[in-house]
């Protein structure tokens, strides 16, 4: 191998390693900023009750609740613990959280913590992947 080929190969390898390191560092920072360590939701059966639609989340910051607060609120409203996913979406042009339960129930929650809509989706089927060993 010629010396120039070896130098070009070393430079390309170093550039690729630097790009990979930068990408992984940015990803790790994004993950740490997006999910706080207290994002675990636990519900006991004895203190979960169905509440009216007009309830709001207990949050000291006015205006906007976090997605895990919306998940907790949805669990309290339905009195169920089979929450499948909570995501950001739009309802009638407004940004809201959508909480979907494995039972097919869905709840729209505004960013200020107010329950906007509850409904049930018929035919929703959520299955666990099976192992093919």
Tokens of 93: 């042009």
CB-based contacts of 119, cutoff 8 Å, min separation 6: 105, 106
pLDDT in tens, 37-93: 444 444 444 433 444 444 444 444 446 888 888 888 888 888 887 888 888 888 888
Structure tokens at 58: 């207990």
* Domains in the chain: boundaries: 1-34, 45-120
Phi-psi region of 104 (alpha: psi -120 to 50; beta: other; left: phi over 0): left
Q: Using alpha carbons, select from 116, 101, 103, 36 the residue that is nearest to residue 69.
A: 36
CATH T-level fold of 45-120:
Nuclear Transport Factor 2; Chain: A, (3.10.450)
Predicted model pTM? 0.46
Ramachandran area for residue 79 (φ above 0: left; ψ -120 to 50: alpha; else beta):
left
Residue 133 has pLDDT above 70, yes or no: no
Contact between 98 and 86 under an 8 Å Cβ cutoff? The reply is yes
Percent of the chain with pLDDT strictly greater than 90: 14
**Backbone torsion region of residue 93, taken as left when φ is above 0, otherwise alpha when ψ lies between -120 and 50, otherwise beta:** left
């Amino acid at each position: 191998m010629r010396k120039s080929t070896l130098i070009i190969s070393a430079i390309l390898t170093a550039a690729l390693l630097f790009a990979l390191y930068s990408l992984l560092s940015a990803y790790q920072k994004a993950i740490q900023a997006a999910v706080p360590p207290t994002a675990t939701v636990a519900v006991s059966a004895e203190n979960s009750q169905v509440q009216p639609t007009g309830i709001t989340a207990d949050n000291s910051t006015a205006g906007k609740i976090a997605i895990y607060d919306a998940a907790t609120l949805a669990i309290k409203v339905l009195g169920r613990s089979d929450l499948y996913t909570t995501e950001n979406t739009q309802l009638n042009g407004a940004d809201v959280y959508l909480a979907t339960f494995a039972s097919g129930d869905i709840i729209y929650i505004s960013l200020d913590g107010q329950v906007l809509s509850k409904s049930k989706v018929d035919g929703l089927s959520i299955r666990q992947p099976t192992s093919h060993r």
